A = this chain, B = another copy of it.
């Protein structure tokens, strides 16, 4: 049923939503009198499908004819970012401590509003630049999904397009400072899912769901893409990116097999010589590599079924 028709039906029958409709949102009573909706049976090959036609027509026209009148915003559109990095062998996500209600003092994903003339992806990249202070044009950023439950924000209807970003370990250590506002939290210290609330950090809104989905996205991405290299600074050793797999999957691939796979995949990594590393505490120095141009792995590196 198309939305305009649904609206009429809702309006003509008593329901818990009626008060909300009457209190004035998109369509006034007058507008609804203008609504005409028809259903047609359509046929494709041998198949009959009842459809609602002109689904775009009525809402759009009403919007366009009423732009000079009073309307409340229907939705707020935001982007939320799950910015991942690997720190000290752990997969971490950047969280911000909220300073006000709701969820005051809860940790939340960074995010912000999509500007009226801004593409959603541009908004996400803008936020990424703001949160990391780095040039986000080179970073991996992808859309995760849209979270639009009407109750996800108690104040108003907020629909959020969640994104996943991967950043290499930031390389400018600075001693001291205020740690309370934002932090890369290891994901295993967060209260995600059902039974593990004890001792773990709860998140604001539905951000536990988003983070859970984002982690699974990252885990599966490592299977069939070369994105592990996005977590490390260049140049890197094979042990570095194997460490990424260990941090993200919780289990490291076999050393020899991993090396075989990475080096036999054209364009996964580019040799960059060998060099003594300052912090070497003993051990043969590793060969170093740069990121290659390949993006996908054929066939993938699969997590073992047991671990899944």
Contact = CB atoms under 8 A, between A and B. Distances in A.
B100 A132 contact: no
A88 to B, nearest CB: 7
A146 B143 contact: yes
A302 interface: yes
Interface residues of A, number: 102
A24 to B, nearest CB: 10
A294 interface: no
A45 B40 CA distance: 63
Interface in A154-190: 155-157, 159, 161, 169-170, 172-184
A79 to B, nearest CB: 9
Contact of A43 (B63, B67, B76, B179): B179
A55 interface: yes
A138 interface: no
B75 A72 contact: no
A20 B116 contact: yes
A263 interface: no
Nearest to A204: B56
Given A63-B76, A155-B64, A54 B110 contact: no
A146 B149 contact: no
A241 to B, nearest CB: 20
Contact of A75 (B75, B299, B300): B75
Given A42-B177, A55-B112, A57-B99, 10 more contacts: A6-B126, A42-B179, A44-B184, A47-B173, A49-B170, A51-B131, A59-B113, A71-B71, A73-B74, A146-B161
9 contacts: A42-B177, A44-B184, A48-B170, A48-B174, A59-B76, A60-B76, A114-B148, A120-B148, A298-B302
Q: Which 4 A-B pairs have the closest CB atoms?
A: A120-B148, A46-B173, A43-B177, A48-B174
